[in-house]
C-alpha cells in the first residue's frame, strides 16, 4: 500500500487526492496519513504495487462535497484524509452518494462535519478579545482552544465583524491575525498556552459581562431584556453594570458599522420607531458622517407633529447651529416673510433640513457656510426619511438643490423643474423651489426679487395643494 503524509490542511489533502485520483489509486491502495500524528512502531517498507483503479484525469468534484469536505478536513480525527479520499473516489461513479445518509462513509462524513460545525459556532460565540496597547497602538488578542483545527474556517467571520480592528486569535495549533490596513488574514503556527495574554485592561468588564463590548455578534439587548426583567438586574451584582455596558457595546457596534461601510450613513443611529420624540432623542448621538465633529449641536426639525406641509432645507446655518432650531437666522426670516404674505398657517408646517449638522469653514471669527457633499446628504437621508415617516405630510417642498437631491435624486435640475409636481414616493405631492438663502445671495436687487418671486410662487403652489388635500 502506498503511504502519503498529508499536512493538516484541506489544501494539502486536495493536492494529494488529485494526484492519487489521476494515478488511479483505489482507496484501499493508498493510505493518506495525517502528518501531525506520530507514526508508532517501525514502518515496514512495503513494495508498492501498481495502482489498479481507473485513472481519473478530470475528477468529478461536486461543489457540495468540496464545501463540506473543507469542514471535515478541520476535524482532529486522523482517519479523515482516508475517509475524504474514499468519498471522493466513490463520487466518481456514485453521483448521488452524498444523499445516501445510511451509507457508512457518508454517515461518518456527516458526523465529522457536524462536530466541526458545532466547534465553529462555539468559537464564533466564545472568543473573547483582550485589549492590549503596545507601541503600535491598540490591538485585540484572544486565546481560544477549539476542539478541532478550525482557525482557517473561523477567521473570515472575525475579519468581517472586526474589519477595522487589529486583532489576533491564538490557539495551540495555529494562529491568525488581521491587518485592517491591508485587509489581510495572516496565518501562523500555534503558540504554547503560556503565551496567551494575561494583561487585560478590560478584565473587570468581562467578568461582569463577558465580552459584550467586543462581541457584537452576541449583543442582543432585546433578547437579553426579554430573558431578564430589568427589575432583577440590581439583585445580580455582576450585572449591575449591564445597562451601561450595553450602551457602550451598542455605540461601539454602531461606530464599527460606520467605519466598515465605505459610504457614511446615519442608518445605524436611526431608531426603528419613527416618532418625533424618539427621533429627537436619538439624533444627538449620530455619528453617521464627519459633520458632527465640528458643529455645535445637531439641529432637528421643528413644527407640527402631523403637519400637512413639510419644508426641507439644506442644513442648519450659523445661528441654527448655535441655537439648535431650524430656520431662525436670515434665511428663516425670508421664509417666514413669504409664508406670512401667503397666509400660510405656520401651525400646519413642519420645517427640517436634508443635513442635520452645520458644515462650515472658519474665517477669522466667521464661520462660512459650505455646501454639503452628496455623500453627506446621503448619509443624513435616513433621518429625513424617518421624519417624513413620522410626520406623514401630504405635501413636501424641497428648498434648494440639496434637499431636492436628497429626495428627488442627485441629477435633479432645480431651475428647470422648480414648482412642478414631481414623481415621488415620499409624499403624495412633492415640489422643489429655490432656497431662501439664494434669495439673499442674489446678484442684485432685481435678481433677488426674481428669486423671491420664485420662492413665493412655489410655496403658493405647495400650499394650494395642501388646501386641496384637506
- Point out which residues bind ligand URA (CB under 6 A): 313-317, 320, 326-327, 329, 331-332, 353, 437
Q: Considering CB distances under 5 to 8 angstroms, the limit depending on partner class, which of ligand URA, ligand SF4, none binds residue 14?
A: none
Retrieve residue 401's grid coordinates.
438643490
Report whether 327 contacts 379 (CB < 8 A).
no
Q: Considering CB distances under 5 to 8 angstroms, the limit depending on partner class, which of ligand SF4, ligand URA, none binds residue 355?
A: ligand SF4
Task: Please tell me whether residue 292 binds ligand SF4 under the rule CB under 6 A.
Answer: yes
Q: Considering CB distances under 5 to 8 angstroms, the limit depending on partner class, which of ligand URA, ligand SF4, none binds residue 313?
A: ligand URA
Task: Please tell me whether residue 116 binds ligand SF4 under the rule CB under 6 A.
Answer: no
Interstrand relation of 366-369 and 360-363 (parallel, antiparallel or unpaired) = antiparallel
The two most distant CA atoms of the chain are separated, in Å, by: 105
SS3 4: strand
* Size of site (CB under 6 A) for ligand SF4: 15
Closest CB to ligand URA among residues 85, 360: 360
Task: Please tell me whether residue 298 binds ligand SF4 under the rule CB under 6 A.
Answer: yes
Question: Could you say which of 266, 307, 328, 432 contacts ligand SF4 (CB under 6 A)?
Answer: 266
Q: Considering CB distances under 5 to 8 angstroms, the limit depending on partner class, which of ligand URA, ligand SF4, none binds residue 327?
A: ligand URA
Closest CB to ligand SF4 among residues 8, 288: 288
Closest CB to ligand SF4 among residues 289, 414: 289
What is the CA angle 168-173-174, rounded to 5? 35
Task: Please tell me whether residue 289 binds ligand SF4 under the rule CB under 6 A.
Answer: yes
Options 64-72, 115-123, 339-347, 379-387: segment touching ligand SF4 (CB under 6 A) = 379-387
CB of 295 to ligand SF4, least distance (A): 7
Report whether 315 contacts 356 (CB < 8 A).
yes
The rounded distance, in Å, linking the Cα atoms of 409 and 402 is 10
Cα distance from N-terminal residue to C-terminal residue, the chain: 90
The rounded distance, in Å, linking the Cα atoms of 137 and 131 is 10
SS3 189: strand
Options 159-167, 374-382, 411-419, 430-438: segment touching ligand SF4 (CB under 6 A) = 374-382
Question: How many other C-beta atoms lie within 10 A of the C-beta of residue 248?
Answer: 15
CB of 334 to ligand URA, least distance (A): 10
Report whether 89 contacts 26 (CB < 8 A).
yes
Closest CB to ligand SF4 among residues 18, 274: 274
Task: Please tell me whether residue 355 binds ligand SF4 under the rule CB under 6 A.
Answer: yes
CB of 378 to ligand URA, least distance (A): 17
Task: Please tell me whether residue 309 binds ligand SF4 under the rule CB under 6 A.
Answer: no
Task: Please tell me whether residue 377 binds ligand SF4 under the rule CB under 6 A.
Answer: no
The residues, ordered by sequence, that sit 6+ positions from 74 with a Cβ below 8 Å of its Cβ are: 10, 116, 148, 149, 150, 152, 153
The rounded distance, in Å, linking the Cα atoms of 103 and 87 is 10
Question: Could you say which of 279, 291, 339, 386 contacts ligand SF4 (CB under 6 A)?
Answer: 291
Task: Please tell me whether residue 357 binds ligand SF4 under the rule CB under 6 A.
Answer: yes
CB of 278 to ligand URA, least distance (A): 21
Report whether 355 contacts 376 (CB < 8 A).
yes
Q: Considering CB distances under 5 to 8 angstroms, the limit depending on partner class, which of ligand URA, ligand SF4, none binds residue 288?
A: ligand SF4
Closest CB to ligand URA among residues 209, 327: 327
Options 32-40, 182-190, 243-251, 375-383: segment touching ligand SF4 (CB under 6 A) = 375-383
Task: Please tell me whether residue 270 binds ligand SF4 under the rule CB under 6 A.
Answer: no
Options 12-20, 68-76, 176-184, 285-293: segment touching ligand SF4 (CB under 6 A) = 285-293
The residues, ordered by sequence, that sit 6+ positions from 365 with a Cβ below 8 Å of its Cβ are: none
- Count of residues in the chain: 470
Task: Please tell me whether residue 407 binds ligand SF4 under the rule CB under 6 A.
Answer: no
Report whether 310 contacts 350 (CB < 8 A).
yes
Residue of 302, 270, 304 lying closest to 392 (CA atoms): 304
The rounded distance, in Å, linking the Cα atoms of 468 and 465 is 5
Task: Please tell me whether residue 369 binds ligand SF4 under the rule CB under 6 A.
Answer: no
Closest CB to ligand URA among residues 146, 301: 301
Kindly state the helix (H) or strand (E) to which residue 396 belongs, with its residue range. strand 395-399
CB of 414 to ligand SF4, least distance (A): 21
Helices and strands, number each (H, E), in the chain? 17, 14
CB of 356 to ligand SF4, least distance (A): 4
Closest CB to ligand URA among residues 303, 332: 332
Residue of 182, 188, 183 lying closest to 169 (CA atoms): 188
Residues paired with 138 in a beta bridge:
133
Residue 58 DSSP code? S
Report whether 27 contacts 83 (CB < 8 A).
no
Residue ranges that bind ligand SF4, judged by CB under 6 A: 266, 286-289, 291-292, 298, 355-357, 376, 379-380, 383
Amino acid at each position: 500500500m502506498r503511504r502519503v503524509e498529508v499536512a493538516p490542511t484541506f489544501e494539502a489533502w486536495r493536492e494529494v487526492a488529485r494526484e492519487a485520483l489521476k494515478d488511479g489509486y483505489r482507496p484501499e491502495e493508498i493510505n493518506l496519513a495525517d502528518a501531525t500524528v506520530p507514526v508508532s512502531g517501525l514502518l515496514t517498507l512495503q513494495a508498492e504495487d501498481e495502482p489498479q483503479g481507473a485513472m481519473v484525469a478530470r475528477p468529478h468534484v461536486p461543489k457540495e462535497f468540496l464545501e463540506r469536505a473543507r469542514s471535515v478536513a478541520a476535524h482532529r480525527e486522523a482517519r479523515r484524509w482516508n475517509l475524504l479520499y474514499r468519498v471522493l473516489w466513490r463520487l466518481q461513479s456514485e453521483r448521488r452518494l452524498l444523499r445516501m445518509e445510511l451509507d457508512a462513509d457518508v454517515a461518518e462524513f456527516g458526523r465529522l462535519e457536524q462536530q466541526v460545525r458545532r466547534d465553529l459556532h462555539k468559537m464564533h460565540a466564545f472568543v473573547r478579545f483582550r485589549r492590549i496597547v503596545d507601541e503600535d497602538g491598540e490591538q485585540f488578542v484572544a486565546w481560544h482552544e477549539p476542539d478541532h483545527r478550525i482557525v482557517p474556517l473561523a477567521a473570515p467571520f472575525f475579519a468581517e465583524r472586526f474589519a477595522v480592528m487589529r486583532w489576533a486569535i491564538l490557539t495551540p495549533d495555529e494562529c491568525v491575525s488581521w491587518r485592517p490596513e491591508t485587509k489581510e488574514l495572516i496565518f501562523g503556527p500555534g503558540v504554547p498556552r503560556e503565551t496567551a495574554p494575561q494583561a487585560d485592561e478590560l478584565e473587570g468588564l468581562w467578568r461582569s459581562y463577558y465580552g459584550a463590548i467586543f462581541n457584537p455578534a452576541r449583543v442582543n439587548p432585546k433578547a437579553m431584556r426579554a430573558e431578564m426583567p430589568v427589575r432583577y438586574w440590581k439583585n445580580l451584582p455582576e450585572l449591575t453594570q449591564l445597562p451601561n455596558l450595553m450602551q457602550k457595546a451598542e455605540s461601539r457596534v454602531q461606530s464599527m458599522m460606520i467605519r466598515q461601510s465605505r459610504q457614511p450613513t446615519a442608518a445605524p443611529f436611526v431608531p426603528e420607531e419613527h416618532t418625533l420624540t424618539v427621533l429627537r432623542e436619538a439624533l444627538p448621538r449620530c455619528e453617521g458622517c464627519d459633520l458632527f465633529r465640528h458643529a455645535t449641536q445637531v439641529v432637528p426639525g421643528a413644527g407640527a407633529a402631523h403637519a400637512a406641509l413639510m419644508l426641507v432645507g439644506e442644513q442648519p446655518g450659523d445661528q441654527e447651529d448655535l441655537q439648535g432650531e431650524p430656520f431662525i437666522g436670515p434665511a428663516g426670516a425670508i421664509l417666514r416673510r413669504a409664508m406670512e404674505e401667503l397666509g400660510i398657517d405656520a401651525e400646519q408646517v413642519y420645517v427640517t433640513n436634508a443635513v442635520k449638522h452645520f458644515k462650515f469653514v472658519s474665517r477669522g471669527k466667521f464661520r462660512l457656510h459650505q455646501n454639503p457633499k452628496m455623500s453627506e446628504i446621503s448619509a443624513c437621508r435616513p433621518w429625513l426619511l424617518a421624519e417624513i415617516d413620522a410626520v406623514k405630510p401630504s405635501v413636501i417642498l424641497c428648498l434648494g438643490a440639496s434637499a431636492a437631491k436628497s429626495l428627488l435624486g442627485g441629477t435633479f435640475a432645480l431651475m428647470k423643474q422648480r414648482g412642478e409636481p414631481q414623481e415621488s414616493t415620499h409624499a403624495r405631492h412633492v415640489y422643489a423651489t429655490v432656497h431662501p438663502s439664494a434669495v439673499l445671495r442674489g446678484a442684485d436687487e432685481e435678481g433677488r426679487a426674481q428669486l423671491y418671486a420664485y420662492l413665493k410662487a412655489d410655496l403658493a403652489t405647495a400650499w394650494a395643494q395642501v388646501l386641496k388635500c384637506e
